[in-house]
Amino acid sequence: MSSSDGPELQRRLGTFDTVTLGLGSMIGAGIFVALAPAAAAAGTGLLIGLAIAAGVACCNATSSARLAARYPQSGGTYVYGRERLGAFWGHTAGWSFVVGKTASCAAMALTVGHYIWPDYAHAVAVAAVVTLTAFGYAGIQRSALLTRVIVAVVLAVLAMVVVIVLGLGDIDAARLVGDDVTRRGVLQSAGLLFFAFAGYARITTLGEEVRDPARTIPRAIALALGIALVVYALVATAVLAELGSAGLASAEAPLSEALRAAGFPALVPVVSAGAAVGALGALLALLLGVSRTTLAMARDRHLPPALAAVHPRHRTPHRAELAVGLTVALLAAVVDVRSAIGFSSFAVLLYYAIANASALTLTAATMGSRLLPAIGLVACLTLAVTLPVTAVVTGTAVVLIGMLTYAMTNHGV
């Protein structure tokens, strides 16, 4: 049974909503949580790490866009790996995405909790997951409308931070350079910052709900990634120039600290609200993406077939959404934000390594060039192994569990 069998989802999303869902994942997921650990790893090499992460993301986006145009189904690289490399690698990609992005969901939910009510962060995180799962259950079109509002708010807050810090803050260009840069530190920061660029994966996982996917998905990926690159570069430069690498690395809320240092502490609550809203947007898009990959894997019986059900009225994978929401809510009650970022980065880099390997199998006429997917494949594997040791060990163990599960269910490769 292939993922194309069974009831299909409804194609409701145009280019604007598809770009918005991708931005909702990237902007909220990265800029408020990934800068500090990346600065701790790379020092003043943070911007180099950002450039590397962006380059890898571009390679991955090119491969994903071309594959998505050919296979416009829910599931993303789970489908591409299955069709181009075989069932085993499709399962490995799907497993890596589901476990990695489930961790991302928990991290985003906890980010909401820490900004809204720090003393009860876990309780707020669980409430956020339950609420957004209900939005997804009610229909993706409503989810897309909510994400439009969230993205607009977050971009306005980030623009305020950049304008105030660069225009009125105590900017010192010398803080952007230094001698505390190592090659491994830069690569590790790139791997951590990749967490912030992975939002376009949600665009490909929604392939079955996008109108004219062969045209819309590549365009939406390019637009979402390009906008995110510009935003990240501006914000990272402003915060690093204001706080320096040491101050940024130690900051629990880097954007808020940058405003305080610039002499505008009264605006810190605005940034806190923007961070919470951004994390909600990322959480919403992540829940949508994970549930769609769960749907595709359930259709192929790599996950319980009951999860492949599509709601007769809302035309959403309601059982998959409920299962994912429950799992994320349980994780949000116990996990730590920063450890979740490292684990998620490892799993998602492996996911994209399989996407690039899948793209390499396309014919020259379809692919145009195999250079970018080849670079993307090597870069994803390199960044994955340079992440913090705990993330590498835990991620490897969980991925191996997925491979073993596949073998034990007697599916042929």
Would you say residue 273 has pLDDT above 50? yes
- Is residue 380 a contact partner of residue 372, using CB atoms and an 8 Å limit? no
215-229 per-position pLDDT tens digit? 787 788 888 888 888
Rounded Cα distance between 191 and 185, Å, is 10
- Is residue 324 a contact partner of residue 287, using CB atoms and an 8 Å limit? yes
Would you say residue 328 has pLDDT above 70? yes
Can you tell me the mean pLDDT for 360-366?
Answer: 73
Structure confidence at residue 378 (pLDDT): 97
Q: Helices 318-332 and 121-138: crossing angle, nearest 10°? A: 170
Higher pLDDT, 253 or 358: 358
Residue 408 burial (10 A CB sphere; 0-12, 13-18, 19+): exposed
Least Cα distance to 248 among 67, 43, 64, 100 occurs for 43
Residue 365 burial (10 A CB sphere; 0-12, 13-18, 19+): exposed
State whether the Cα torsion 217-297-103-388 is positive or negative: negative
pTM of the predicted structure, to 2 decimals: 0.82
Give bridge partners of residue 206 from the DSSP assignment: 74
Rounded Cα distance between 21 and 45, Å, is 30
Would you say residue 2 has pLDDT above 50? no
Give bridge partners of residue 13 from the DSSP assignment: 210
Structure confidence at residue 281 (pLDDT): 77
Structure confidence at residue 410 (pLDDT): 62
Can you tell me the mean pLDDT for 100-113?
Answer: 88
Would you say residue 245 has pLDDT above 80? yes
9-48 per-position pLDDT tens digit? 566 677 887 888 778 767 765 678 788 889 999 988 999 9
Structure confidence at residue 4 (pLDDT): 45
Structure confidence at residue 364 (pLDDT): 62
Can you tell me the mean pLDDT for 240-254?
Answer: 86
Question: What are the φ/ψ torsions at residue 5 (nearest 5 degrees)?
Answer: -80, 160
Structure confidence at residue 349 (pLDDT): 96
Segments in 169-267 forming alpha helices (H): 183-194, 200-205, 213-250, 254-262
DSSP string, 295-331: HHHHHTTSS-GGGG---TTT-S-HHHHHHHHHHHHHH
Structure confidence at residue 142 (pLDDT): 53
Percent of the chain scoring above 70 in pLDDT: 88
Structure confidence at residue 367 (pLDDT): 52
152-181 per-position pLDDT tens digit? 888 999 999 999 998 887 776 666 766 567
Would you say residue 7 has pLDDT above 60? no
- Is residue 155 a contact partner of residue 235, using CB atoms and an 8 Å limit? no
47-79 per-position pLDDT tens digit? 999 999 989 998 998 898 888 778 877 677 888
State the chain's mean pLDDT as an integer.
84
Would you say residue 1 has pLDDT above 50? no
Can you tell me the mean pLDDT for 82-106?
Answer: 92
CA 61 to chain centre: 13
Structure confidence at residue 412 (pLDDT): 46
Would you say residue 5 has pLDDT above 60? no
Domain boundaries, the chain: 15-408
Confidence of residue 113 (pLDDT cuts 50, 70, 90): confident
3.30.450.40, 3.40.50.1820, 1.20.1740.10, 1.10.3720.10: which CATH number matches 15-408?
A: 1.20.1740.10
Question: What are the φ/ψ torsions at residue 74 (nearest 5 degrees)?
Answer: -65, 140
